[in-house]
Every structure is written in structure tokens, then in C-alpha cells.
A = this chain, B = another copy of it.
Amino acid sequence: MPSKNPLAGLAGRNFLTTDDLSDSELEALLELAARFKARGPGALLAGRILGMVFFNPSLRTRASFEAGMFQLGGHAIDLSIGQGVWKLEHRDGTVMDGDAAEHLREAVPVLARYCDLLSVRCFPSGKDWAVERTDPILSGFAAYSDVPVINMESSLYHPCQALADLLTIREKLRKTKGKRFLLTWCRHPRALPTAVPNSAALIASRAGMRITIARPPGFDLDPDIMARVRANARKSGGSVEVVDGFEAGFDGADVVYAKEWGSLDHYGDDAAEKALRARHTDWMVGARQMKRTRDALLMHCLPVRRNVALADEVLDGPWSVVVDEAENRLHAQKALLVALAGKAGPKAKTRTAARARR
């Protein structure tokens, strides 16, 4: 481990979005993840506890964090809100005479006393985007916790997915600079959140890729996210274009990142949103589209609805790397956990002594 490890600076910090990371931190994190994947991490987090708080369902996230903590010698506690755990309030000054039995202002500091790291999944509730885009629950965790908080998907971001995505692209394509990255909208029976497309665009724009975002009119991502994607691209030497049509973006693509999401223009107005979505049932990725690419990687964060968003023929075809992507969640998150716990930098050398004092 180099004596000037950029990951040392991550110790004790929150990880809410990939833009929290400097370029050298991001680079070092991906290198650590690749090393863990190749060799196994060892018991770097022996005795450490991750408290996972889920306000929404999860398969990969739950399993990969729990597996990762165990493989690092630590332990993950699974707390699913509303399933055997009290409902939580986040608004300040509320008279709490409704459903929620507890406020984040108590629950988070208490969990921070039991756990060395906390992680939170909280999807938006689909009512008011002006509120949701502030990520009130995640922000509450970050504000009230004095241990690092990891975003396991919020209204705005899914940064652990983004780390795994970039790790996967680098494994498969070696270099990312100048490669063509298509982020394409897909159809879905429900108006899904925009956290994954946001984080995919943000990480691709960090990697110097030439990004095309293809979505039907009315399905633009949040303007602040787009501004940051453009700023990232300028800095990394990449580019960003947004197109209306489904097919053209596939031409010459090196990566096809398919994702379903709902319209922010009609956020909270389910009927209008559904009507708009229903006009674009042709947006399903099939072999015809993939054949227009440069044998692109087909990526998707999962879960995916077969023959709705993606056809069987592409998920079962030579393009799909969706399972590798999901596997890389494990390795990227282990690197992240180790870094946030302060075990990845030069001071990691003293960890045996530190643990002995615990």
C-alpha cells in the first residue's frame, strides 16, 4: 500500500453520491475493488458492524452488503423499516401523532452507537419532486449520524451501483476515455425512480465517455443532475448529448445502459405520467438494437422485467454483463466499506493495534 494512499482521506466520511469522491479517490477505490476481487480482502473489518436500514425492498444490495461485511470479518445488521421495525419520521418540528413512532433524530444517533457504519435505502414516495430531490431521509441520516453513512439508493442517487458499473466497464473495455456510452430509457409498467440513471450518467461523465441519453420527450432527468453530468464531462474530456429517438443512439455504442424511469414532468400526477409512458411501448431493447452497436456491453442494474424493458434475446445473448455488474457490487462495496472505516489508507498498517484496543 503506498504511503500516500488517497483512500486515507475517505475515513469517517459519508458516501452519498459518486461526486463526493475526488478523481484520485475514485481511481483508488476501483483499484482496491479490483484487488479484492482478485485476491479476497482479508479480515480488514474484524469486529466492525454495518447497520443496514431498508425503507424499500432489496435483493442484491442486502445480500452483497451482508456477504461483504462477513467476508471482511465484520457483520451486517438488517433493519427493514415497517417490517418488525418502527416507522420513522424525518420532518423537523412535526407533532408526531400519525404512523411514525420514532424520529430520525433519535433512531440514527442510537444506531450510530451500536454500529461502526450505517447504510440507508430510501426510494422517493412519488408525491412531490421538490421535496424528494432533497433526499430528506438520507440527509437526515447524514446529519444525525457520527459514523459514516452509505447511500444504498436514495431519490437522487445509487452510487454503489455506479461504482460497480464503472468497475465492470473498466474490466471489459480496459479504457473508458472516448468510448460511447448510451443511457437509454426503457418501458416499464410503473414510474420507477431516477436514481440509477442519474448515477449512471454521473459516473460515465467522470470517466471521459461520450454519453448519449436517449429518452422520449418528457422524461428528462433532473436539471441539476444534468448540469453536473455536463460539468463532469467537460472536466473529464467527455461529452453529453440528449436525443429523443429510441434507435439512433445505439449506432456505434460501446456500452448500452438500459433503464426504466418515470417522468419528472408529471411527478405526483400518476394518470398523466402513465398516459405519457404508455405512448412509448416500443422502447424495449432487443437484438435489432444491439446489432447496431459495436458489440456493446448491455448493462442494467437489475431487477429487470424480461420482455418489457429488455428482450430475452439480449439478456440471454452475448452482450449482457448484468450478472458481472451485480457481482461487482460486492467488490466495490467492500472497497468502500474498508475505506470509510479508515482501513484502506496508510494508517491501516496499525489496525491490529487499533483493534486490540477496542
Closest to A76 in B: B77
Whether the Cβ atoms of A96 and B305 lie closer than 8 Å is yes
Whether the Cβ atoms of A307 and B77 lie closer than 8 Å is no
Whether the Cβ atoms of A40 and B106 lie closer than 8 Å is no
Whether the Cβ atoms of B113 and A303 lie closer than 8 Å is no
Residues from chain B with Cβ under 8 Å of A85 in the complex: 57-59, 62
Query: How far, in Å, is A44 (CB) from chain B's closest CB?
Result: 13
Query: How far, in Å, is A347 (CB) from chain B's closest CB?
Result: 20
Interface bin, chain A: 35 or more
A105 to B113, CA, bound (A): 37
Residues from chain B with Cβ under 8 Å of A102 in the complex: 59, 302-305
Residues from chain B with Cβ under 8 Å of A59 in the complex: 79, 85-86, 102, 107, 110-111
The answer to whether A352 has its CB under 8 Å from any CB of chain B is no
Closest to A116 in B: B67
Residues from chain B with Cβ under 8 Å of A57 in the complex: 84-86
- Which of A155-163, A221-229, A320-328 lies at the interface? A320-328
Whether the Cβ atoms of A107 and B303 lie closer than 8 Å is yes
Query: How far, in Å, is A209 (CB) from chain B's closest CB?
Result: 25
Known: A77-B63, A114-B64. A312 touches B106 (CB 8 A): no
The answer to whether A54 has its CB under 8 Å from any CB of chain B is yes
Copies in the complex: 3
Whether the Cβ atoms of A323 and B86 lie closer than 8 Å is no
Task: Return the contact of A84 from the options B83, B92, B114 (Cβ within 8 A).
Answer: B83
Task: Return the contact of A326 from the options B105, B113, B358 (Cβ within 8 A).
Answer: B113
Whether the Cβ atoms of B305 and A101 lie closer than 8 Å is yes
Known: A107-B303, A302-B102, A330-B113. A93 touches B63 (CB 8 A): no
The answer to whether A70 has its CB under 8 Å from any CB of chain B is yes
Task: Return the contact of A315 from the options B70, B86, B105, B304 (Cβ within 8 A).
Answer: B105
Closest to A92 in B: B312
A89 to B330, CA, bound (A): 24
The answer to whether A238 has its CB under 8 Å from any CB of chain B is no
Whether the Cβ atoms of A97 and B323 lie closer than 8 Å is no
Whether the Cβ atoms of B83 and A62 lie closer than 8 Å is no
Query: How far, in Å, is A161 (CB) from chain B's closest CB?
Result: 13
Q: Per-residue 0/1 for A296-307: is the Cβ within 8 Å of any B Cβ (1 yes, 0 no)?
A: 000000111111
Q: Per-residue 0/1 for A104-126: is the Cβ within 8 Å of any B Cβ (1 yes, 0 no)?
A: 01110111011100000000000
Given contacts A58-B84, A63-B110, 12 further A-B contacts (CB under 8 A): A59-B107, A63-B77, A63-B115, A66-B77, A67-B75, A70-B75, A86-B303, A96-B308, A101-B305, A103-B306, A106-B315, A114-B327
